[in-house]
Amino acid sequence: MFHFCNNIENRSYRKENMNRMKENHCPSFDSYWYTIAVPTPFGSPPGKRGFIRNSFSAGQRINVLFVPFLMLLLFFSSCNRNPLKVDISDIKAEVEIVRFDQELFHAPMQDTLTELKKLRYRNPDFFDLFTWKIIGIGGMEEEHFPEAINEFLTDTMILNVKSMVETKFSDFRKIEIRIIEAFKYYNYHFPEKELPTIFTMISGFNQSVVTAENIIGISLDKYLGRDCSYYKLLSNVPQYKTANMHPEKIPSDVAYAWGMTEFEEGENTTTVLDHIIHQGKLMYFVDALLPEMHDTLKIGYTTLQLQWCTENEPQMWNYLVEERMLYSNRRMDILRFINDGPYTNGFPLESPSRAGIWIGWQIVRQYMKKFPDITLPELMLNTDYQKILNDSQYYPE
């Protein structure tokens, strides 16, 4: 089975039962403010809440409590210690990264078919994946293959994109180091699992990341930067997607795609709650592989979008509870909270897309913080989403 990860997109959907929850009427939710009565089982008295635009209003006074510098330093150093920043200095295994794009386009063209046979001999599984599934021209045994591959390799747009890739990724070593380090963390947590081989490619603006058994393919032409002129011409690439089509996003997309491949949704993943916690587990998997990366790069939010989620976390959660969204198994309810888009449908226009994934991420983080002895493999295999929520005691205030 192979999987496509087009800048955090592909999902499937399943189900689980809900616990008893008292009914409370909630007025209709408009584009900016709404009134909410928080259900008694979640332990908070009714009150009015609204989404927040800014941290502080103009002229607002801020009171600051000063404490001795040393105490403050000790406090923050203990609170900010990342339990996922484990020692990987003894991990010798390294993931192999193959510059397939260079091998393909730099092959001598005097006898193209012979050179391609050599390339396929070196990388048979990925070569077939590339020609059959990614650029869709079939295999070498197909009668039309020589003509089709020649058209691809000599296409004007593809050659222009190849030049742009060579310029943008003239020094690929920095990204390689980050990916190699990520899979050292992966090997630390999953020492029994085989490391994949990673291939870079030019796909003609197809999938950003594609995975198969022990294979990860990265389309470098999908990471040329937000201002790439070709992205504006692609009808299937809206502006909200181009925001994350830059080189710095490659490591987190690779980590997420590999997590999605290794830990697929189970048959009991059917409700909104199931899906956001499953996605939260995948984001925690990204945390574990990239413990020093900023959250903005992990989830693909701007600083302002991340700040909006943090400031409006209670309001988002209350909305999911009051509107009885958590236990809905309707496909459209699930998609609205986990799919990419200009914003999260149901939340204000200022909200980023995939806000449900962000909430699931916070639930899983709180769960792991409360149970530090639970290992990453144990977490990823746990599909009792209701228990994860209950045990996390998640309730943002």
Would 84 be classed as within a structural domain? no
CA distances to 254, 286, 361 from 84, in Å: 18, 10, 15
Would 352 be classed as within a structural domain? yes
pTM, two decimals, is: 0.82
Domain count, the chain: 2
pLDDT (tens digit per residue) in 335-377: 999 999 999 999 999 999 999 999 999 999 999 999 999 999 9
Mean pLDDT (the chain, rounded): 84
pLDDT in the model for residue 237: 87
Would 37 be classed as within a structural domain? no
In terms of domains, do 273 and 392 share one? yes
In terms of domains, do 248 and 113 share one? yes
Would 9 be classed as within a structural domain? no
Query: In this structure, are residues 162 and 62 in contact, taking their beta carbons and an 8 Å threshold?
Result: no
pLDDT in the model for residue 28: 31
Would 61 be classed as within a structural domain? no
Q: What is the mean pLDDT of residues 12-29?
A: 32
* Residue where a domain stops, chosen among 262, 277, 300: 262
pLDDT in the model for residue 53: 52
CA–CA separation, 122 and 159 (whole Å): 24
Lowest mean pLDDT among 159-168, 229-238, 287-296, 328-337: 229-238
Give the largest CA-CA distance in the chain: 77
In terms of domains, do 248 and 276 share one? no
In terms of domains, do 109 and 244 share one? yes
In terms of domains, do 230 and 301 share one? no
In terms of domains, do 333 and 223 share one? no
pLDDT (tens digit per residue) in 305-324: 999 999 999 999 999 999 99
Q: Which domain holds residue 242?
A: 96-262
Would 117 be classed as within a structural domain? yes
Can you state the angle between helices 145-154 and 112-122, rounded to 10 degrees? 90
In terms of domains, do 163 and 275 share one? no
In terms of domains, do 164 and 251 share one? yes
Who wins on pLDDT, 234 or 74? 234
CA–CA separation, 231 and 226 (whole Å): 8
* Residue where a domain stops, chosen among 262, 277, 307: 262
Who wins on pLDDT, 40 or 242? 242
* Residue where a domain stops, chosen among 245, 262, 279: 262
In terms of domains, do 350 and 299 share one? yes
Query: In this structure, are residues 244 and 5 in contact, taking their beta carbons and an 8 Å threshold?
Result: no
Token readout for 17 is 């039962």
Token readout for 312 is 């409006």
Would 56 be classed as within a structural domain? no
pLDDT (tens digit per residue) in 204-259: 999 999 999 999 999 999 999 999 999 999 888 898 999 999 999 999 999 999 99
CA distances to 250, 251, 293 from 175, in Å: 8, 7, 13
- Look up tokens 């510098």; give the residue: 69
In terms of domains, do 178 and 144 share one? yes
In terms of domains, do 161 and 278 share one? no
Q: How confident is the model at residue 266 (pLDDT cuts 50, 70, 90)?
A: confident
Would 25 be classed as within a structural domain? no
Give the DSSP letter of residue 129. Answer: I
In terms of domains, do 153 and 275 share one? no
